[in-house]
C-alpha cells in the first residue's frame, strides 16, 4: 500500500499549499504559507517515532583537585584523540619559550679556584705578610690562606669585574664647576676599571673647552677626537682605532680632545655620536670627561646615551652647591633616573675642604644620589701631570677602586632584559 501523504514520494521536498491535508476545522486554507504544522497530530495514521539508541561514553576520571575547565578539556581531547599530538607539541614549545633558561657562562668563569680540588699541593700560597711567613717557616705545611686585607682586595676585584651583555656601557663624569678634579676623577676611575677588568675600557675627552685628560697618561699619539671623526669611514677594526688613542700601564685607552679651543668648541653632538658609535664596537665601558657647559650639544648626546653618571664635587661651600644644582638641573630636564643612580665623587683635595664639615656635604648628597665616595689628597694627583696608578697612595687606590665597584654595580647587566 503506497503512502499518499503529502511529500512522501519525494523526501526532502517541501509540500505545496495544495498538497496539505485538511485535518479538522483548525487546518484551513486560510493558513499562511510556510506555517509549521504538527503533521503527526493532524494525520490519521500514527507516525512511528524514530528509533533511539543509547551510547555509553566513558570519560577519563578527573581527580577532584583537578576538575578545572582545563583538566576536563584535556580529558575530552584524550577521549576523542583529536589534536593530542599538536596540543602537546604546542604546549611544549610554549613552555620552552616562557621558561627562564640560565645565561651561558663565559670562559673567564672557569677559574682554578673553581676547578681544582683544594689540598696541600693545589692550594695557592697565601698572600699577606704574616700568613706568608708562617707558610714558609713551616716548609709549606701550614697554609693559613690569604689575609683579611687580601681577601677584601679580591672581593673588590670581583665587584669591579661584573660582566655585561647587550653592548657598551656609557658613563659621563660631569659637574658645572671647573677645577674640582673632574678630569682627575675620570682618569682614576678608568684606571681602576682597566686594572681589574679583562675587557677594554676607554675614556674620551669631550670637553669643548680644551680638555686635559690626555695629559694624565704618557702620550703615544697626537690624534684627537677630530681625527676619529674625519677617519671614521676608514676605521675597519680595533687596530685602526687603537692607533688614535694613548694607553697607560693599566690598559686604559684615552682619546684626547683638540688642543685648539676653536676646534674643540666645534666638536658637537653629531661628532660625539660618531666617536661613541665607533668606540661601542671595541670597548665594554666608555667614560666621558664632560665640560662644564651643561647646555652644550655634546652634553645632550652624552646624557642620552648614559647608563650611569658620576658627579664630581669639591669640598668647599660653592663647589658642593654647584654640584647639587647640577643634580637639580638633571632632574628638571628628564634625567631623574640618572640622578637616583648617580655616584658623587667628593674631592677632598680642593681649597677650603679643611674648613667645611664634609659629613654634612655627604649627608646632603646621600639624600639625592645612590652613593658618595671621598677622593683623598694625593701628592701625585696634586701635581696635575701623568698618573701612575701603582704609585698612588694605598688609600687613594682604594678610593678609586671603590668608586669603580659602585659605578659597575649601578650599570645594567643586560640591556635585553
Q: Which one is predicted more confidently, 215 or 35?
A: 215
In a domain, 37, yes or no: no
Q: Are residues 224 and 360 in the same domain?
A: yes
Predicted pLDDT at 280: 96
**Is residue 399 helix, strand or coil?**
helix
Q: Are residues 154 and 299 in the same domain?
A: no
Instruction: Output the CA torsion sign for 49, 50, 56, 59.
Output: negative
Q: Are residues 200 and 177 in the same domain?
A: yes
For residue 243, what are the domain limits?
Answer: 163-409
In a domain, 190, yes or no: yes
Look up the CATH number of the domain holding residue 291. Answer: 3.40.50.300
In a domain, 32, yes or no: no
Q: Are residues 212 and 358 in the same domain?
A: yes
Q: Are residues 346 and 399 in the same domain?
A: yes
pLDDT tens track for 232-283 = 999 999 999 999 999 999 999 999 998 776 665 678 899 999 999 999 999 9
**Is residue 310 helix, strand or coil?**
strand
Cβ atoms 187, 213 nearer than 8 A: yes
Q: Are residues 132 and 254 in the same domain?
A: no
Q: Are residues 129 and 185 in the same domain?
A: no
pLDDT tens track for 182-198 = 999 999 999 999 999 99
Angle at 296 between CA 246 and CA 316, to 5 degrees: 80
In a domain, 70, yes or no: no
Residue 36 has pLDDT above 80, yes or no: no
Q: Are residues 149 and 260 in the same domain?
A: no
Angle at 192 between CA 330 and CA 326, to 5 degrees: 15
Q: Which one is predicted more confidently, 272 or 291?
A: 272
Instruction: Concatenate the DSSP letters of all residues of 251-305 into one string.
Output: -EEEEBPPSSHHHHHH--HHHHHHHHHHHHHH-SEEEEE--S-TTSHHHHHHHHH
pLDDT tens track for 341-361 = 999 999 998 877 777 899 999
Q: Are residues 303 and 325 in the same domain?
A: yes
Residue 92 has pLDDT above 50, yes or no: no
Task: Please give, one letter per residue, the 3-state secondary structure of 78-130.
Answer: HHHCCCHHHHHHHHHHHHHHHCCCCCCCCHHHCCHHHHCCCCCCCCCCCCCHH
Residue 132 has pLDDT above 80, yes or no: no
Predicted pLDDT at 386: 94
Set of cell numbers at residue 313: 664635587
Could you give the number of structural domains in the chain?
A: 2
Of 136, 160, 184, the one marking the end of a domain is 160
Residue 406 has pLDDT above 70, yes or no: yes
Amino acid at each position: 500500500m503506497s503512502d499518499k501523504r503529502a511529500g512522501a514520494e519525494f523526501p526532502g521536498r517541501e509540500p505545496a499549499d495544495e498538497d496539505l491535508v485538511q485535518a479538522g476545522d483548525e487546518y484551513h486554507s486560510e493558513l499562511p504559507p510556510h506555517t509549521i504544522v504538527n503533521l503527526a497530530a493532524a494525520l490519521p495514521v500514527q507516525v512511528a517515532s524514530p528509533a533511539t539508541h543509547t551510547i555509553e561514553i566513558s570519560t577519563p576520571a578527573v581527580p577532584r583537585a583537578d576538575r578545572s575547565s582545563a583538566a576536563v578539556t584535556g580529558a575530552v581531547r584524550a577521549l576523542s584523540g583529536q589534536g593530542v599530538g599538536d596540543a602537546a607539541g604546542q604546549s611544549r614549545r610554549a613552555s620552552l619559550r616562557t621558561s627562564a633558561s640560565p645565561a651561558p657562562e663565559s670562559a673567564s668563569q672557569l677559574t682554578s679556584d673553581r676547578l681544582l680540588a683544594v689540598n696541600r699541593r693545589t692550594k695557592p700560597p697565601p698572600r699577606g705578610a704574616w700568613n706568608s711567613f708562617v707558610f714558609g717557616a713551616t716548609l709549606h705545611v701550614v697554609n693559613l690562606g690569604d689575609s683579611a686585607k687580601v681577601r677584601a682586595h679580591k672581593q673588590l676585584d670581583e665587584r669591579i669585574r661584573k660582566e655585561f651583555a647587550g653592548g657598551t656601557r656609557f658613563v659621563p663624569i660631569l659637574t658645572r664647576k671647573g677645577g674640582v678634579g673632574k678630569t682627575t676623577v675620570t682618569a682614576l676611575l678608568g684606571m681602576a676599571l682597566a686594572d681589574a677588568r679583562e675587557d677594554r675600557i676607554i675614556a674620551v675627552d669631550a670637553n669643548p673647552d680644551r680638555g686635559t685628560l690626555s695629559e694624565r697618561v704618557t702620550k703615544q699619539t697626537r690624534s684627537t677626537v677630530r681625527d676619529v671623526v674625519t677617519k671614521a669611514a676608514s676605521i675597519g677594526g680595533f687596530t685602526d682605532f687603537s692607533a688614535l688613542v694613548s694607553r697607560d700601564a693599566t690598559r686604559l685607552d684615552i682619546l684626547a680632545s683638540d688642543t685648539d679651543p676653536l676646534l674643540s668648541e666645534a666638536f658637537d653632538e653629531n661628532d660625539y655620536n660618531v666617536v661613541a658609535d665607533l668606540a661601542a664596537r671595541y670597548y665594554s665601558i666608555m667614560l666621558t670627561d664632560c665640560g662644564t657647559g651643561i647646555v652644550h650639544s655634546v652634553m645632550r648626546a652624552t646624557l642620552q646615551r648614559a647608563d650611569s653618571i658620576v658627579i664630581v664635587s669639591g669640598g668647599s661651600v660653592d663647589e658642593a652647591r654647584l654640584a647639587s644644582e647640577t643634580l637639580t638641573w638633571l632632574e628638571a630636564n628628564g634625567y631623574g633616573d640618572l640622578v637616583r643612580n648617580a655616584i658623587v665623587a667628593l674631592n677632598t683635595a680642593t681649597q677650603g675642604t679643611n674648613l667645611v664639615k664634609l659629613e654634612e656635604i655627604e649627608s646632603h648628597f646621600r639624600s639625592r644620589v645612590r652613593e658618595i665616595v671621598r677622593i683623598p689628597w694625593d701628592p701625585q694627583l696634586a701635581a696635575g701631570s701623568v698618573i701612575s696608578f701603582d704609585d698612588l697612595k694605598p688609600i687613594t687606590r682604594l678610593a678609586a677602586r671603590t668608586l669603580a665597584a659602585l659605578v659597575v654595580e649601578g650599570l645594567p647587566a643586560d640591556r635585553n632584559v
